[in-house]
Structure 1
Amino acid sequence: MKTVLTAIAALLFSSLSWAAATITIVNGDPPGVGFNDAAPAVPVGGNTGTTLGAQRLNAFQAAASKWGETLDSSVPIRVLATWDALPCTDTAAVLGSAGALEVFADFPGAPHPNAWYGKAETNKLIGFDADPDVPDLRARFNVNLGQPGCLTGSPFYLGLDNHHGPNTDLVTVLLHEFAHGLGFQTYTDDETGELLAGIPSIWDYFLLDTTTGKVWKDMTDAERAASAVKSGKLVWNGVQVSNAARIVLQPGTPILTVLTPPDVAGVYQIGTASFGPPLASPGLTGEVMPVVDTPPDLGLACAPLSPLNARAVRGKIALLDRGGCTFIIKARHVQDAGAIGIIVADNVPGAPPPDLGGSDPAIVIPVVRITQEDGQALKSAIAQRTRTRSGLYANLGVNLAVRAGTDPLGRVLMYAPRPNQPGSSVSHYDTSARPNQLMEPAINGDLRHEVKPPDDLTYPLLKDIGW
């Protein structure tokens, strides 16, 4: 059984082979475009190409080499690649995309019946090309990146040494996108929960909602759609990934723990700040008091605190609202008032709470962000406070028993933001993983050109689904 996902263009071929697998880059660009761009280029970072097109192809082949030496398949893997004008603005851009061109289910020897597998993995499992007329992966990359109006002045770095500076490392992006095409994705619609042709992906056999105890293959469409936005509750339930996480991910998950009152006590997701001291164990415990300086019942702390507000937060953890000024300005004003820590409640719905950016060495108290929903819950819990006492006690710290990017049972968290982000939700690792992982929804500048332990969890997931 198979479904063709994308049509095939006219092809030109360029290929290399490696010991574990053969990766073939299929050049689908017309003359003068993309891989065929003859514009002169100076060799950079080990990339010896002397034209822009040649350097692009060399970067593709470097990524193919990494995956070729990692995978185990007797069937060549063909990647149809083009350089196209993808959506972008002066401040944001789609870097690229990749996916399987065909998926197959219920073929002889399939590890699981009634499950979609991408073409490259299907070929590996059956030992021959299931459809020789169709390449296995389709990859598109932004030909205009760095040009005016498309992340102006920030092109792809084409070197092979990962010394990309402020630019986007092309080899890293390629490793990420090739992984999607090799199977690091579900073919189920993460917005509606609808299965492709009524059949779950092999991915859905391992995607577990910890609030219901169900994996995606056993859910209704509505249950899958709801599960896709349960940030912090959607995990990968695969042995290979869980075992590798003990090697790859660092111990310690930053958390906010509310101790009292009982109706809001528990563990809350947080975003951490790039300024101020890092959270530690056993952490900072204190009473939480809100800043209320902006109608109608907001606390922005965009100006020095009034004597009344200063008295309320002195020696306490201050609860603020996002908006009106930078996080640094808020932190300065609250710290000057004598607070020992800061919780910033977001001003828009959504989860998980993002990290807080900025830099100021003068900030010496910890700062975290919580969701708007959690902020409203804490505010409601202390609505009957006195001017200097709330009765709400919390700890800003690190749970050393839980690795960064896993749940308490050691299962790796998957990206399940609220609201849903089509193209990113479900088919990536969560952004809480530390160190940063190749298969998070955004490319981080500190990534190495690695896809397996002890550095990365990409290959273990592919092994879980049958590679």
Structure 2
Amino acid sequence: MAAILTLACGMLADAQAAATIVIVNLNAPGEGFNDPTPAQPVGGNNGATLGQQRLIAFQHAANIWGATLTSTVTIRVGASFMPLSCTADSAVLGSAGANDIFSDFPNAPRTGTWYPSALASKLAGTDQSAPTDPHIVARFNSRIGLFPDCLPGAGFYLGLDNQAGPQIDLIAVLLHELAHGLGFQTFTDSESGEQTLDIPSIWDYFLVDNQNNRSWVQMTNAERAASSVSGNALSWNGPNVMAAVPTVLAPVSVLRISGPAARNAAGNYDVGDASFGPPLGSTPVVGQLMQVIDPGNTTGQACTPLSANNALAVKNNIALVDRGTCTFSIKAKNVQDAGAIGMVVADNAPGDVTGMGGDDPTVVIPSVRITQQAGITLKQVLTRRSRTKSGVIASLGINTARLAGTDQQGRIRMYTPTEYSPGSTVSHYTTDAKPNQLMEPSINGDLSHEVTPPRDLTYPLLRDIGW
């Protein structure tokens, strides 16, 4: 028989904001939440075993959501830790979603519209699911960091204090996945554009093409499918998110190129921000752009300490390096050690601008990422340079006229990469947002445990769909 743990929900100042969350432990004895492996206290988590610490972390994340939401119907989460897909370099951290969807229930704000079971029950005021059925089903990877073929040396950080360092913050992962189960997802097939039983999801009313301002409910299947892989043409149009965007998102970062040798490369370039190092601010970091060149090659990846010639070139300048082979933070540390005051990473494949993940508290220079085409343009004008001067001036700063991750109307964009990504496309925010948001497709190391403004836009979206 599955064990049931009722989680006490911490209260916000507004006493009306509360929901009861019940975790249904779906693990067998000795596994997952019941793993008897001894564990030492960490970051306020005093569980004596690995299983207990996992359960305490889950409780902590549920407390955060329970104190934020309002519902008179208990929310049941069927949860387990089990082996999921992973390699030495990447892994599925977890997954969660609504167990059931409902339409045309009592008090439904919109008829003929799918709602996730937890939200449908809240709106109806009575449980729409069977008494023993969970509203949310969640699974998390039990192997991460514990086996050599599953992110060895990383592992979940089970502390409650948001001090994960180079590890993966389990609380952030739990908050993210629980949000999906609460309704941060569409039930329309993002790849084909087909609606479930030809009925739209409540989510689809707020997805809007930022080129023609048509919502997903106004589109054909083919049009929805095209917007899912549009790169940046899909935005969220909900009023609560719209109102919160200016208080949460920071100005977009920009690379400005000028100088006597810049020629046709002069101008502004969109960039992706790094999750490590200092954020760009109103006082730009300015220096000559100098390319790192690997011996016998036309590219430079800065994956090892720089040669004497490369170090001479980048010292007190901004280094241009190529993506590939090693992590972004390793590149930044190597050019920093050589004396660079900033780093620009040129992508090694076509595509739109995206951010750079990673974590290294010793990196103190700013870093940005540009497209492959932008890199080609810059390298062409850098072919005429001396060992210490290029005459191409790079300025790493911000554009105060635009917020990071937004469209021209100031709406946050959704994650719509040009290559469809199952489980990620559409049902996440763009990776261009700054600061990084909880509901981006990857868990970034700089996330807090907040789900509300002024730090995060997760709860405003849930409010848009009915919470």
TM-score by length of 1: 0.79
User: Following the alignment from structure 1 to structure 2, what is the Cα–Cα distance between the partners of residues 169 and 255?
Assistant: 29
Q: Does 1:422 align with 2:422?
A: yes
- Mapped partners of 1:342, 1:292: distance in 2: 14
1:135 aligns with 2:126: no
Partner in structure 2 of residue 346 of structure 1? 347
Aligned positions of 1:155-194 closer than 5 A: 155-194=155-194
Give the corresponding residue for 2:37.
Answer: 39
Shift of 1:463: 0.2
Instruction: Give me the identity figure in percent.
Output: 52
8 Å CA contact retained: 1:231, 1:352: no
Match of 1:5 in 2: none
Give 1:378 deviation, angstroms: 7.5
* 1:94-128, Cα deviation, whole Å (9 max, x unpaired): 11111001111233332223322100000011111
Between the aligned partners of 1:175 and 1:229, the Cα distance in structure 2 is 26
Contact 2:406 2:413 in 1 (8 A): yes
Report the counterpart of residue 213 of structure 1 in structure 2.
Answer: 213
1:176–1:343 distance in 2 versus 1, CA, 3 Å:
closer
Q: CA deviation at 1:165?
A: 3.2
Q: Amino acid of the residue matched to residue 195 of structure 1?
A: Q
Distance 2:159 2:339 in 1: 44
Q: Distance in 1 between matches of 2:181 and 2:363?
A: 46
Cα separation, partners in 2 of 1:426 and 1:258, compared to 1, 3 Å: farther
Distance 1:110 1:74 in 2: 16
Does the 8 A contact of 2:336 with 2:342 survive in 1?
no
Q: 1 CA distance for matches of 2:338 and 2:156?
A: 41
Please state if 1:13 is matched with 2:23: no
Higher mean Cα deviation, 354-363 or 196-205? 354-363
Equivalent residues of 2:301, 2:331 under 8 A apart: no
Would the aligned equivalents of 2:253 and 2:397 in 1 still touch at CA under 8 Å? yes
Distance 1:113 1:269, change over 3 A: farther
Q: CA deviation at 1:254?
A: 0.7
Question: Quick check: 454-463 or 109-118, which moved more?
Answer: 109-118
What pairs with 1:389-428 in structure 2 (closer than 5 Å)?
Answer: 397-428=397-428
Question: Which stretches in structure 1 are left out of the alignment for 5+ residues?
Answer: 1-9
Q: Shift of the alpha carbon at 1:53?
A: 2.1
Cα distance in structure 2, aligned partners of 1:51 and 1:12: 17
Counterpart Cα distance in 2 of 1:216 and 1:430: 17
Report the CA distance between 1:290 and its aligned residue: 9.2
Tell me what 2:118 maps to.
120
Contact 1:78–1:137 (CA under 8 A) maintained in structure 2: yes
- CA displacement 1:280-332 (0-9 Å, x = unmatched): 55858999999999999x555987889xxx9xx9x999977556898559968
Give the partner amino acid of 1:49: G
Match of 2:12 in 1: none
Assess if the C-alpha contact under 8 Å between 1:331 and 1:367 holds in 2.
Answer: no
Q: Which residue of 2 aligns with 1:53?
A: 51
Which residue of structure 2 lines up, in the alignment, with residue 73 of structure 1?
A: 71
Query: Which of residues 71, 89, 104 is equivalent to 1:106?
Result: 104
Q: Say whether the 8 Å CA contact 1:351–1:419 is kept in structure 2.
A: no
AA matched with 1:238: G
**Aligned-residue CA RMSD in angstroms?**
4.2
Query: What is the SS of the residue equivalent to 1:214?
Result: coil
Structure 1 pair 243–329 and aligned structure 2 pair: CA distance change class (3 A): closer
> Aligned-pair distance for 1:242?
1.8
Q: Show the counterpart of 2:457.
A: 457
1:254 aligns to 2:253 (yes or no): yes
- Structure 1 Cα separation of the partners of residues 301 and 164 of structure 2: 38
Q: Per-residue CA shift, 1:43-79, capped at 9, x if unaligned? A: 3333333232222222211111111111111111000
Cα distance change of structure 1 residues 153 and 200 upon mapping to structure 2, 3 Å threshold: same
The size of the alignment, in residue pairs, is: 446
Q: d(CA) in 2 for partners of 1:274 and 1:65?
A: 27
Pick which of 219-228 and 139-148 moved more. Answer: 219-228
Does the CA contact (< 8 Å) of 1:96 and 1:141 recur in 2? yes
Moved more, 431-440 or 280-289: 280-289
Secondary structure in structure 2 of the residue aligned to 1:78: strand
Whichever residue aligns with residue 354 of structure 2, its letter is: P
Give the match for residue 442 of structure 1.
Answer: 442
Amino acid at match of 2:444: N
> What CA distance in whole angstroms lies between the structure 2 residues aligned with 1:358 and 1:171?
17
| Residue aligned with 2:165, SS | coil
- Measure the CA separation in 2 of the matches of 1:279 and 1:56: 36
Q: TM-score, normalised by structure 2?
A: 0.79
Cα contact 2:210–2:407 (8 A) shared by 1 = no
